[in-house]
């Protein structure tokens, strides 16, 4: 029986380099990356993947040139509007992870609308990481638990890994099986630091806008050959 990962995550790296190599502005690369994501999400569902998490905008991305950040925010709003329209005929469920409180009000409104529209959908679950950082997520989870302890609603001794996971942005999402990174680098870049503990990691040189359904299939073929031991001996 072929192993299909239940939950995959993608660090979609290389949009800027893709644009630069073609003499295009950086945000043209981000637009091409958004189009690649739509194709990949459709292909992922057909391949039997149930959960897909993608790194769209990190807590560190605010340090990029203002024009690039502004263009990214406009593009995100454009794609969320499209996803809202698609929700009427698609069975995909979309949710956002990250600290959305720092996003502009219109984007926050779209996130709420999209989440509510697709909450009961039973198709591919797509999680989009916006203003997300793995360290920030862990700190926010710790604060939630600390407040419960302060209010005497929780004993410190009751805090274990399972309870901590319930306080993360990804609460209710199955364990991460496979992390894919495009663009040639091999690092986590502050993405899903807790969740990646025992996931398999697949890195490719191909820049994200060029990453195709065929490349996704290659990643799944590689995953099928991996013997997952989770720290044990077999």
Query: What domains appear along the chain, each with residue ranges and CATH number?
Result: 7-133+175-225 (3.40.1180.10)
**Separation of alpha carbons 37 and 106, rounded Å:** 22
Torsion sign (Cα): 143, 144, 148, 154: negative
CA-to-CA dists, residue 16 to 8, 78, 178, angstroms:
23, 19, 24
Q: What is residue 230's predicted lDDT score, i.e. its pLDDT?
A: 74
Query: Does the annotation count 221 as an active-site position?
Result: no
Contact between 205 and 183 (Cβ < 8 Å): yes
Q: Split the chain (234 residues) into runs of 10 and give each run's mean pLDDT.
A: 89 97 96 95 95 97 93 92 87 95 93 93 95 98 97 97 97 97 97 97 98 97 88 62
Q: What is residue 87's predicted lDDT score, i.e. its pLDDT?
A: 85
Q: What is residue 1's predicted lDDT score, i.e. its pLDDT?
A: 56
Beta strand pairing call for 51-58 and 93-97: unpaired
Helices 26-46 and 66-86 pack at an angle, to 10 degrees, of 30
Query: Does the annotation count 13 as an active-site position?
Result: yes
In the set 13, 136, 169, 177, the catalytic residue is: 13
Q: What is residue 150's predicted lDDT score, i.e. its pLDDT?
A: 97
In the set 61, 99, 190, 210, the catalytic residue is: 61
Residue with tokens 């779209």: 110
The secondary structure element, H or E, covering residue 178 is strand 178-181
The model carries a pTM of 0.94
Q: What is residue 229's predicted lDDT score, i.e. its pLDDT?
A: 76
Q: What is residue 49's predicted lDDT score, i.e. its pLDDT?
A: 97
- Tell me how crowded residue 61 is: count the other CB atoms within 10 A of its CB: 16
């Amino acid at each position: 029986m072929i192993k299909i990962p239940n939950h995959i995550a993608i660090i979609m790296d290389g949009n800027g380099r893709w644009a630069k190599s073609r003499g295009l502005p950086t945000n043209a690369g981000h637009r091409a990356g958004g189009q690649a994501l739509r194709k990949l999400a459709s292909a992922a569902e057909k391949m039997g993947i149930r959960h897909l998490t993608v790194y769209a905008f990190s807590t560190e991305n605010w340090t990029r040139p203002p024009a690039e950040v502004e263009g990214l925010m406009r593009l995100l709003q454009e794609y969320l509007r499209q996803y809202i329209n698609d929700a009427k005929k698609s069975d995909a469920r979309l949710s956002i992870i990250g600290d959305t409180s720092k996003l502009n009000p219109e984007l926050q409104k779209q996130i709420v609308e999209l989440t509510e529209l697709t909450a009961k959908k039973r198709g591919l679950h797509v999680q989009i990481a916006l203003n997300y950082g793995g360290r920030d997520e862990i700190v926010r989870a710790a604060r939630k638990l600390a407040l419960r302890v302060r209010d005497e609603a929780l004993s410190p001794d009751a805090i274990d890994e399972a309870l901590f996971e319930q306080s993360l942005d990804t609460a209710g999402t199955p364990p991460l099986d496979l992390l894919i990174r495009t663009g040639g680098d091999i690092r986590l870049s502050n993405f899903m630091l807790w969740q990646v503990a025992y996931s398999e990691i697949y890195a490719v040189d191909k820049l994200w806008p060029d990453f195709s359904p065929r490349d996704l299939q290659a990643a799944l073929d590689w995953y099928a050959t991996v013997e997952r031991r989770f720290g044990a001996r077999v």
